[in-house]
Structure 1
């Protein structure tokens, strides 16, 4: 696997791996219901946790969690967990 750089069309710091599936797993109104999302180090951690039954897991696509990604986490769930 080669970690590709940002391009004009794709900015890794603006997206989270597994975001759509995690948001769907939390369901609508997760923030009001106290739902949580787990942010892990990388996409392989997301895959491993998905195999263990955790659907509410995301990961940054770069080497660091950016402010944009933190905003996504806070909008998705009231209490994001960073692992």
Structure 2
């Protein structure tokens, strides 16, 4: 995975942990807790968008294609040359 994307995931995880710590505080009112939950939902959505972008930029070759030769793939697709 791209190093910059890894850094983004680390930053997201750190922010999420901080918000979870905030939620454990007993002195927070309901409105503040509600805002934190909304923010955590937005963070999760952002996290999923980054994963989708990463998969688009760095697509992997699914099995069994990854372990096949080019000739085997072509024959498997029904294209003979």
Please classify the TM superposition score into its range, dividing by the shorter chain length.
Answer: under 0.3
Higher helix proportion (structure 1 or 2): 2
